[in-house]
Structure 1
Amino acid sequence: MLYPVAPSTGVPVAPASPRLTSIDQLRGTVIVLMLLDHVRETFYLHAQVADPMAVDQVEPALFASRLLAHLCAPVFVLLTGLSAWLYGSGQATGRRAAAAFLLKRGVFLVALEILVVNFAWTLQFPPSVIYLQVIWAIGLSMIALAGLLWLPRGVLAVLALVLIGGHNLLDGVHVDGNGPLAVLWKVLHQRDWIELGEHLRLRTSYPVLPWIGVIALGYVLGPWFAR
Structure 2
Amino acid sequence: MNIPLKSASPAITPSHHRIESMDVLRGLVMVIMALDHVRHLFHSTAFTDNPLELTTTTPALFLTRWITHFCAPVFIFLSGTSIYLQSLRKTKRELSNFLIKRGLWLVVAEVTIVTLGITFNPFYGVFILQVIWAIGISMIMLGLLIYLPFRLILALGLAMVLGHNALDVAESAPGFQPGFWWAVLHFPVRYSLTIGHQLIYDYPFMPWLGLMIVGYCVGIWFESSVSPARRRAVLVRAGLGLIVFFLLLRLTNAYGDPHPWRLQPSALLTLLSFLNVEKYPPSLLYMGMTIGPALLFLAGMEPIHNRFTRIMRTFGRTAFFYYLVHWYLIHTLCLIVFFGRGHTWADTWNVPKATRFIIPGEGFSLPVVYLIWALVILAMYPLCRWYDAYKTSHKNRWWLRYL
TM range (shorter): 0.7 to 0.9
Tell me if 1:121 matches 2:118: yes
Q: 3-state DSSP class of the match of 1:150?
A: coil
Cα distance in 1 for residues equivalent to 2:195 and 2:46: 37
Cα distance in 2 for residues equivalent to 1:55 and 1:98: 45
Cα distance in 2 for residues equivalent to 1:186 and 1:36: 29
Unpaired segments ≥5 residues, structure 1: 1-15, 177-181
After superposition, the C-alpha distances for 1:182-218 in whole angstroms (9 at most, x for unaligned) are 3322211121133445564322111111001011111
- Per the normalisation by structure 1, the TM-score is 0.80
Q: Which residue number corresponds to residue 31 of structure 1?
A: 30
The structural deviation recorded for 1:146 is 0.7
More helix by share: 2
Cα distance in 1 for residues equivalent to 2:146 and 2:46: 46
**Distance change in 2, residues 1:50/1:209 (3 Å):** same
Cα distance in 1 for residues equivalent to 2:20 and 2:216: 18
Cα distance in 2 for residues equivalent to 1:84 and 1:28: 17
**Distance change in 2, residues 1:34/1:226 (3 Å):** same
Cα distance in 2 for residues equivalent to 1:77 and 1:47: 25
Farther off after superposition, 126-135 or 140-149: 126-135
The structural deviation recorded for 1:51 is 1.1
Tell me if 1:80 matches 2:47: no
Farther off after superposition, 70-79 or 21-30: 21-30
Unpaired segments ≥5 residues, structure 2: 1-14, 225-403
Please say if residues 160 and 213 of structure 1, whose CA atoms lie closer than 8 Å, have aligned partners that are also in contact: yes
Pairing 1:8-27 to 2, within 5 Å after superposition: 18-27=17-26
Cα distance in 2 for residues equivalent to 1:201 and 1:65: 29
Cα distance in 1 for residues equivalent to 2:39 and 2:124: 27
After superposition, the C-alpha distances for 1:80-112 in whole angstroms (9 at most, x for unaligned) are 111111112122x2x222212211111111000
RMSD value over aligned CA atoms?
2.4
Q: For this pair of structures, how many residues does the alignment match? A: 205
Please say if residues 183 and 194 of structure 1, whose CA atoms lie closer than 8 Å, have aligned partners that are also in contact: no
Pairing 1:114-153 to 2, within 5 Å after superposition: 114-153=111-150
**Distance change in 2, residues 1:33/1:195 (3 Å):** same
Farther off after superposition, 41-50 or 19-28: 41-50
Q: Which has the higher contact order (CA 8 A, sep 6+)?
A: 2
Cα distance in 2 for residues equivalent to 1:104 and 1:168: 30
